[in-house]
Structure 1
Amino acid sequence: MLYIWIMNVLIVDDNEIARDALSQIAGRIKDISITGECADALQAYNLLQEKPVDVVLLDIEMPGMTGLELTRNLEKGPVIIFTTSKREYAVEAFELNVADYIIKPVTPARLIQAIDKARDLLESKEEEMTISDDEFIFIRDSNIIKRLRLDDILFAESMRDYVKLHTAQRFYAIHNTLKAVEERLPAARFLRVHRSYIVAIDKIDTIREGVIVIQEKAVPVADAYRAALNKRMNVL
């Protein structure tokens, strides 16, 4: 029998019309189940403590607690997709490693794109990572342990309660902290360059204006890590 994974989605918005519109659009997307609606972030927080969901469609400006504050208070929570009429919170939102940021009015095509991102994150989320030696790591993917060559890892990116290991072909999401991943990756080959990023030193192509480029992917370098990076690369 073919198993179909249904994503449970919670809608959080203080505007009833906006909630209804999102519910109608999301309800027509394949493999989506709307499990609830909340009119404010505090109500959503309390609900999520009792009934975890996969994805939250979350407004930002709401009375009492904002969507940003809710996201910060969810230690190990669902994938967040912000749906808001405000553009000015985008930078702050993505620093929280949300899946997407949609400007209202939400269209079916745009919501499908965001849901696809959320689905990719959820389906690739790994439960465990172990180091066997200096050449491989083993990751648990849907109860199947897979071997991933260290040489294939380009960089690691923190995403709230999990870490994305980027390769040239795809990424793997490890359910862990970046600090824990950093401790397990060989220090001779990998270096922390930002609070949210670890890079493979031998995969760096260029560094310019505070940005590392690895196979056309940009990784920011924080000032606090710049000296260590230059030292490791023997930059003159």
Structure 2
Amino acid sequence: MIVNNVVLVEDENDLAQNIKEILGSLGFYVSAVFDNSLGALEFIKLNKVDLLILDIMINGDMDGISLAMEIKKKIDIPIVFITAYSENEIIKRVIDVSPDGYLLKPFTKESLKTTLLLSLSNYKKRKSNEVDIKNDEVTIQIRDKGFISLIPVSDILYAQADGLYTKIITTKKTFMIRDILKDLEARLPASIFLRVHKSYLVNMNCIDSFNGKLLQIKDVQIPIRRGFYKILRSLLGNHVEN
């Protein structure tokens, strides 16, 4: 699961900008900020979103809880509520949505960080439990020289964007497909593949080592996005760190 594209829905502009800055300092990239349900819903329909952070009382016909329920009908993404409300009626509605996280205002930078990392971890575990077959049995179809090849996803080391094409490097050979990296990412299990840079998607099980700027898979060094080091540590632990 990647956290490159975070959407924030908060109707207090100053608070929204403050949260956006905090998220940036924690290594999360906020791709869009909305104060209303309609704008957020339309954006999420058209764009890949890795994490949705929602206030409950927002502008528009739907509040944050109704918006989350509407989004969950169409797409499964990690959702975290941030709100000043803790009444029983609100809590009951939140429980019906089954969000991955819930944080009461006012909050500190550390409490926000903890909530988000735990939420992403919970989401990752939930998605892994939904997979009914073993990861090494999952395959994707790749067109290669006029033939359709079935490639086990466990064989994929990493993928690299190349304009309108994507280069897929596996344990056996390299493929060039006519898909952008985002489209390939959507076809692969989020529990295994991580978008560490705008141009690179990697198999987390194949990472040998990493530091604040690079990660290594076999003899290849791959850049990681600025601020992504802490996310890697939280997802992979310290056992492969340089």
Paired with 1:54 and 1:8, the residues of 2 have a C-alpha distance of 5
The percentage of aligned residue pairs carrying the same residue is 21
**Partner residue in 1 for 2:97:** 96
Letter in 1 for 2:49: V
Look up the SS of the partner of 1:82 in the other structure: strand
Q: Is the 8 A contact 1:55 1:118 kept in 2?
A: no
Q: Does 1:22 align with 2:42?
A: no
Q: Which residue number in structure 1 is paired with residue 107 of structure 2?
A: 106
**Equivalent residue number for residue 65 of structure 1:** 62
Change (3 A) 1:87 1:118: same
Distance 1:90 1:22 in 2: 23
Match of 1:83 in 2: 82
SS of 1:35 mapped into structure 2:
strand
How far, CA to CA, are the matches of 1:99 and 1:65 in structure 2?
Answer: 20
CA contact (8 A) 2:2 2:50 kept: no
**Residue aligned with 1:7, SS:** coil
Distance 1:25 1:38 in 2: 17
Structure 1 residue aligned with 2:36, among 31, 40, 50? Answer: 40
Could you say which structure has the higher helix fraction? Answer: 2
Q: How does 1:1-236 map to 2 (within 5 A)?
A: 5-30=2-27, 32-63=28-59, 64-74=61-71, 75=73, 76-88=75-87, 89-124=90-125, 125-126=127-128, 129-130=131-132, 138-140=133-135, 143-144=153-154
Once the 2 structures are TM-superposed, how far is the Cα of residue 128 of structure 1 from its aligned partner? 6.3
Gaps of 5+ in 2: 139-152, 156-190, 192-242
Figure out how many residues of one structure are paired with residues of the other and give that number: 135
> Could you say which structure has the greater relative contact order, defined with CA pairs below 8 angstroms and 6 or more residues apart?
2
Q: Is the 8 A contact 2:3 2:51 kept in 1?
A: no
Separation in 2, partners of 1:86, 1:98: 15
Shift of 1:7: 3.5
State the superposition RMSD in angstroms. 2.7
By how many angstroms is 1:22 displaced?
0.8
1:117 to 1:43, Cα distance in 2 relative to 1, 3 A: same
Corresponding residue for residue 206 of structure 1: none
TM-score in terms of structure 2 length: 0.50
Deviation at 1:104, TM superposition (A): 1.1
Contact 1:128 1:139 in 2 (8 A): no
Structure 1 length-normalised TM: 0.51
Tell me the amino acid that sits aligned with residue 68 of structure 1.
I
Cα 1:113–1:94 shift into 2, 3 Å: farther
Uncovered stretches (5+) of structure 1, i.e. residues with no partner: 131-137, 146-172, 174-236
Contact 1:100–1:114, Cα closer than 8 Å, also in 2: yes
Write the letter of the residue equivalent to 2:128: E
Shift of 1:119: 2.2
Q: Once the 2 structures are TM-superposed, how far is the Cα of residue 90 of structure 1 from its aligned partner?
A: 2.4
Q: CA deviation at 1:69?
A: 0.6
Aligned equivalents of 2:2 and 2:38: distance in 1? 28
Return the offset for 1:122.
Answer: 4.4
Report the Cα distance in structure 2 between the residues aligned to 1:5 and 1:101, rounded to whole angstroms.
Answer: 19
Cα distance in 1 for residues equivalent to 2:105 and 2:3 = 25
Are residues 24 and 96 of structure 1, via their aligned partners in 2, closer, same or farther at CA, if it must alter by over 3 Å?
Answer: same
Distance in 2 (CA, whole Å) between partners of 1:46 and 1:93 is 22
Give the deviation of 1:123 after TM superposition.
Answer: 3.7
